[in-house]
Amino acid sequence: MVVAGQVPATFERHERVRHRAEYQKIYDRGSKVHSRFFTVFTCPNGLRWGRLGIAATRKLGGAVVRNKAKRLVREVFRRNKLAPGVDVVVIPRRELVEASLTTLEFEFRQNIERSLRRSRDVR
């Protein structure tokens, strides 16, 4: 049950970037911000909700490491749905797996705000 004014504590199917063409559009048209734990791309999507995509490549590590990184990123996104109407793609770095959830949330919020400011300045 969702109480008025609260963010739903779920990560629904419609909140995911799922197709290669969508990722490519975000990479091409979006704004990019680098940080210690990940690189974040943001791009307006024309919807009333934000969507998340995660690009965890084998360069990050084995399957266990990649899956842990994706779980952490999804949890941070689920807790901090900051940007309705914006697609977010996160490319995790190795340091992300060792970081605390609190640190990741702070970094994520900062990067989303920087990226949104950057994309507004470009227009």
In the chain, the domains with their CATH numbers are: 17-122 (3.30.230.10)
Is the predicted pLDDT of residue 11 greater than 80, yes or no? no
Structure tokens at 30: 């979006």
Q: Per-residue pLDDT averaged across 102-111, rounded?
A: 92
pLDDT bracket for residue 64 (50, 70, 90): very high
Separation between Cα atoms, residue 44 and residue 84, nearest integer Å? 9
pLDDT bracket for residue 12 (50, 70, 90): confident
DSSP bridge partners of 77: none
